[in-house]
Structure 1
Amino acid sequence: MKNSQLKPGYNVQIGTENQFILFYTIHQRPTDTRCFIPYMEKLAAFSLPILKTVTGYGSEENYVYAVGVEKEPRFDFLIPYGTYVQEQHTNTKRTQKCEKLDVL
């Protein structure tokens, strides 16, 4: 690292239910977005029940995987894309400004 920081070389993904860890995987991938599909594939390979609701990291590949080939969702999912929260915050500010202008 240029700033002499040490960064972890592994990425851990964990599946939980009622605060109990049900499954985990360790990946040598730099981002969480690229770990979603391998994690779900390994979970399926262990013959464990598929999770009811899955949260993940938004990317086109992850959305396509979650929806499935037949366009029938494999599971309920909440997979926001990277800038979702920022855009929601920005849109709220824009809406408030527009409302103030309408009042004037």
Structure 2
Amino acid sequence: MDKLEPVSSWKQFGGWNRRYKVKSSSLGGTDTVFTVYTPPAAENGPVPVVYFLSGLTCTDDNFITKAGAQAAASRLGLALVAPDTSPRGLGVEGEAESWDFGVGAGFYLNATQP
């Protein structure tokens, strides 16, 4: 597993938001970030997890700071995981020329091929 680097953390609705950075070998060695919210119930054992995949040009921060989902997650005992779904820092020629197919674009794959 690639090494996780803590970026920041803050308490909210009795639980914790923790943001991490990781150099992902699955993403070609680029750095990526994600935020995890763990509700108070997670202190007593496993809790269900909801993964939120942001849309075009969004980062993990959009959902975490704008949706207000932590209040409901705390009340329902749900963990939230919000990854940055867009490739950043790939250094591909022309990547900054188009907002919808460049740095802010996000494409999901449910399979990989070595």
Q: TM-score, normalised by structure 2?
A: 0.23
Query: Larger relative CO (CA 8 A, sep 6+): 1 or 2?
Result: 2
Higher Cα Rg: structure 1 or 2?
Answer: 1
Structure having the larger proportion of residues in helix: 1
Q: TM-score, normalised by structure 1?
A: 0.25
